[in-house]
Amino acid sequence: MNKEQLKINLDKILNEVSKSKQSDAELIAVTKYVDIKVMEALYELGVRHFGENRAHEFLKKKEYFADKPDIQWHFIGRLQRRPVKDIINHIDYFHALDRISLAKEINKRAERIIPCFLQINISEESQKAGFGVNEVQAVVEELAEYEKICIIGLMTMAPYDISEKELHEIFVTLKELQSKVQALGLPHAPCKKVSMGMSQDYQIALEEGSNYIRVGQAIYEDVLIEEE
Ligand SMILES: *Cc1c(COP(=O)(O)O)cnc(C)c1O
The predicted-structure confidence for 152-193, as pLDDT tens digits, reads as follows 999 999 998 999 999 999 999 999 999 999 999 999 999 999
DSSP state of 131: B
CA of 215 to the centre of ligand 1 (A): 6
CA of 120 to the centre of ligand 1 (A): 15
Residue 41 has pLDDT above 70, yes or no: yes
Residue 54 has pLDDT above 60, yes or no: yes
Residue with CA closest to ligand 1 atom 10: 214
Residue 227 has pLDDT above 70, yes or no: no
- E-strand spans in the chain? 26-30, 49-52, 72-75, 93-97, 114-119, 149-155, 193-195, 212-215
Residue to mutate (ligand 1; options 94, 214, 217, 223; most atoms within 8 A of CB): 214
- pLDDT of amino acid 36: 97
- The answer to whether the CB of 192 falls within 8 A of the CB of 154 is no
Length of the chain: 228
Pairwise CA distance, residues 227 & 117, whole Å? 38
CA of 56 to the centre of ligand 1 (A): 18
39 three-class SS: helix
Pairwise CA distance, residues 87 & 79, whole Å? 10
Pairwise CA distance, residues 117 & 48, whole Å? 19
- For the whole model, what pTM was predicted? 0.96
- Write out residues with Cβ below 6 Å of ligand 1: 30, 32, 53, 76-77, 157, 198-200, 214-218
